[in-house]
Amino acid sequence: MKINWFPGHMKSALDVMEKEMKNVDLIIYVLDSRAPFSCLNPSFEKIASKRPVIYVLSKCDLSNDADTNYWQSYFNKKENSACVKVNSTISGSAKVIKNLMKTMLSKKADWNKRKGLNIPFRAMVIGVPNSGKSTLINNLASKGKTITGDKPGVTRGKQWVAIDENINLLDTPGTLWPDIENEVVGTRLAYIGSIKNEILDVASLGLEFVGDMLKKDKKILEDRYKIECNNLNRLQVFELICQKRGFISKGREVDYERGAIGILDDFKKGRLGKITLDEKL
């Protein structure tokens, strides 16, 4: 699915992030662990190349464990970087990031100490919409200091949050990039909820998703919806799921849109199991 959702607020957010780069010591780059490669925003290349980066594979409770380990070692190998996986819905689980930050910035801390400076570290948290940036910050702050939500575009302005007396984090609005040319990437960003439904053809996205799951492992759909997929094409499977789940309109027709929303919601909430979409490189 070809995506072009790059509203004015994302453009200004990127400009602000580029400016703030000068004021931060480190970047925390939040990637949804179900599609970490697809979450890499080319617009961030300039932003994330000038500082040490902690790649955070978020929502690891929803991704395949072996695949997440693969992606963790992939991002760990990048220069001047480290990578951790987190489930930010568990209180205290992100603490490892705080310790990692302190280790990665220890030289700077020594330097500050020698100069008698007492300035807190500053890190900027970046990532595509809905990847879990604000939830991660709240987890680190041990208090709900930022607004979160299960739809893209929740955070609008930048917001500094002190997570302890030595570290300040900058929450930023989720940003995409103009004209996402790669259709596979666009589709995966849509599956994980990075793109708002209003600009999508949800029924087609649902059909595409059913097709992708059939290619991956038909048991994912068979087990969840108690159906048999043998010899059925993706449209027939989609319709079967809609019938099974009662996504039927008044005229007894299949309601593809409601069906698609239902299936994609099952994926987003992990009810289809722990699934990683991006293939290993």
Ligand X SMILES: Nc1nc2c(ncn2[C@@H]2O[C@H](COP(=O)(O)OP(=O)(O)OP(=O)(O)O)[C@@H](O)[C@H]2O)c(=O)[nH]1
Q: For binding to Mg ion (CB under 5 A), which residues are involved?
A: 133-134, 154-155
Pick between residue 41 and residue 254 the one whose CB is nearest to Mg ion: 41
Pick between residue 153 and residue 206 the one whose CB is nearest to ligand X: 153
Q: Which helix (H) or strand (E) holds 238?
A: helix 234-244
Task: State the Cα–Cα distance between residues 190 and 188, nearest whole angstrom.
Answer: 5
Pick between residue 174 and residue 206 the one whose CB is nearest to ligand X: 174
276 touching ligand X, by CB under 6 A: no
188 touching ligand X, by CB under 6 A: no
Q: CB of 213: closest distance to ligand X in angstroms?
A: 19
**Site for ligand X (CB under 6 A): how many residues?**
25
Pick between residue 173 and residue 186 the one whose CB is nearest to Mg ion: 173
Q: CB of 94: closest distance to ligand X in angstroms?
A: 9
* Distances in whole angstroms, Cα of residue 128 to Cα of each of 7, 66, 74: 13, 23, 19
With contact defined as beta carbons under 8 Å apart, do 87 and 18 qualify?
Answer: no
DSSP H helices, 83-218, are 95-104, 106-114, 133-141, 183-191, 202-216
Q: CB of 245: closest distance to Mg ion in angstroms?
A: 31
From 58, 63, 72, 276, residue interacting with ligand X (rule: CB under 6 A): 58
Find which of Mg ion, ligand X, none residue 58 binds, CB within 5 to 8 Å per kind.
ligand X
Residues 115-144 that bind ligand X (CB under 6 A): 127, 129-135
Find which of Mg ion, ligand X, none residue 127 binds, CB within 5 to 8 Å per kind.
ligand X
From 68, 87, 187, 276, residue interacting with ligand X (rule: CB under 6 A): 87
Task: State the Cα–Cα distance between residues 235 and 25, nearest whole angstrom.
Answer: 50
Find which of Mg ion, ligand X, none residue 17 binds, CB within 5 to 8 Å per kind.
none
Strand partners, 57: 31, 85
Instruction: Pull the structure tokens for residue 119.
Output: 């300035």
**How many CB atoms lie under 10 A from the CB of residue 16?**
16
Binding-site string for ligand X from residue 205 to residue 244, where x marks contact by CB under 6 A and - marks none? ----------------------------------------
Sheet harboring 159-164: ordered strands across? 81-85, 53-58, 26-32, 121-126, 167-171, 159-164
36 touching ligand X, by CB under 6 A: no
With contact defined as beta carbons under 8 Å apart, do 150 and 193 qualify?
Answer: yes
Strand partners, 34: none
- Tokens 């029924």 belong to 203
Instruction: Pull the structure tokens for residue 264.
Output: 């994609």
Pick between residue 72 and residue 87 the one whose CB is nearest to ligand X: 87
Which residue has the CB atom at the shortest distance from Mg ion? Answer: 155
- By the criterion CB under 6 A, which residues form the site for ligand X? 58-59, 61-62, 86-89, 127, 129-135, 148-150, 152-155, 173-174
